[in-house]
Amino acid sequence: MCSQNHYLFSCQSFRNLDVDSRIKKASESNVCMNCLRPGHTDKRCKLSHCKYCTLKHNTLLHRDPENQSSNNIVLSTNTDTSDMSNQKIVLLSTALANAADVNGKLHPVRLLLDNGSTSNFITRDFCEKLGLSKEGTTSTVSVRAVHLELVSDLTKEAFLAAFSRFISRRGKPQRVYSDNGSTFVGAFNELSRFIQVSSKQIESDLANQDIQFKFIPAYSPHFGGIWEAAVKSTKHLLRRVLSLTHLTYEELSTCLIQIEAILNSRPLTPLSSDPSDLSFLTPSHFLLGRAQSSIIRPGLTEHNIHRLQRFDRIEKLRQHFWQRYSNEYVSLLQQRTRWQTGGQDLKVGAMVLVRDVNLPPLLWLLGRVVAVKPGTDGRSRVADIRTKKGTITRAYNNIVPLPLQ
């Protein structure tokens, strides 16, 4: 095809040809029709078949059902990106499929496969071709995330400073729910007085950006259950992890922020219903747009804290908190209703969270149920789970299904 020294599938001149011309050129060059290399035939070729069908030919020689001359769609693994000026290059993998319209008639469609995407899209023209109706939908997503701030005292000035740090890091909230602590009530009165004595220009600017403070009844912490649950779990483990440890303000602030990352890394729901997809959604996805990550550190849970340096002591506290939280989290989520109600058997393909005390911080073990094992009474209490480590067998007391409520 050209004067350069490369195989036929790497030749840009060969790629610019239509499919029929590629087949004719490959036949004239006496090369394997499967890998486009000389020295053997396609029957003796050890490489895989076409990516679009199961026939034994190269992907560059594939014909579309309707468009026999289509030569502008190739796999990313077969694409030569040295010449990015070629507008026919598609960097993502594609596949052929048939979609049924409202009358049951099949229409060929080209799918663009993006493993990093969490949404599905379809063109307007294809919707009209299938006869699909457009409906307006609205949805609301509620996610509980944790933000921890360390303050030096319980004055309104300390709370206002912490509240300013929160707004700078997370953005201005629309509503703030609080208990009737004097610290929070005093801060609300301070902000109210500031708005009252401010100029009309400031009042007009804050008219559409006002923050609503809502207080629960006095001596009624159960009214704030949505946040008191997170506060309770944090305090419960902090008392046991920190114990009599003496930390400076900077060390304790670092420890709390790392604990905040652990609390916001908890799994909420699977990202898709694909049985082969083990990815899950966390509160960090709504805060950062991605999953939480951390720096890899050696295990320090077995070391004596008094023999560690100050920086390593914080890491030991973090690992200790993670070990307690991840181990107790599954037990806290399980509902003890097996003696009262039935129908709690897991279904094949469901995503579950598995208890594993040997995992490093921020790494949760999730898997898909591939089989359940019923007992003599017909109730299943053990399941085989496919994880990234392979297939494991766990009892129901060590797993909890997603999504979490």
Q: In this predicted model, what pLDDT tens digit does every residue of 123-132 receive, in sequence order?
A: 888 888 888 8
Which of 114, 111, 2, 8 has the alpha carbon at shortest distance from 60? 8
Which of 384, 146, 386, 391 has the alpha carbon at shortest distance from 265? 146
pLDDT value, residue 32: 86
Q: How far is CA 185 from the centre of its chain?
A: 38
pLDDT value, residue 140: 67
66-93 pLDDT, tens digit per residue, is: 444 444 444 444 444 444 444 444 456 7
**pLDDT beneath 50, residues of the chain:** 66-90, 199, 202-203, 205-207, 337-340, 405
pLDDT value, residue 136: 67
pLDDT value, residue 191: 74
Q: d(Cα 236, Cα 216) in Å, to the nearest integer?
A: 23
Each domain of the chain, given as residue ranges in start order, spans 8-97, 145-219
Q: Which residues contact 305 (CB under 8 A, 6 or more apart)?
A: 245, 313, 316
> Considering the chain, what is the average pLDDT of its residues?
75
Q: d(Cα 385, Cα 401) in Å, to the nearest integer?
A: 11
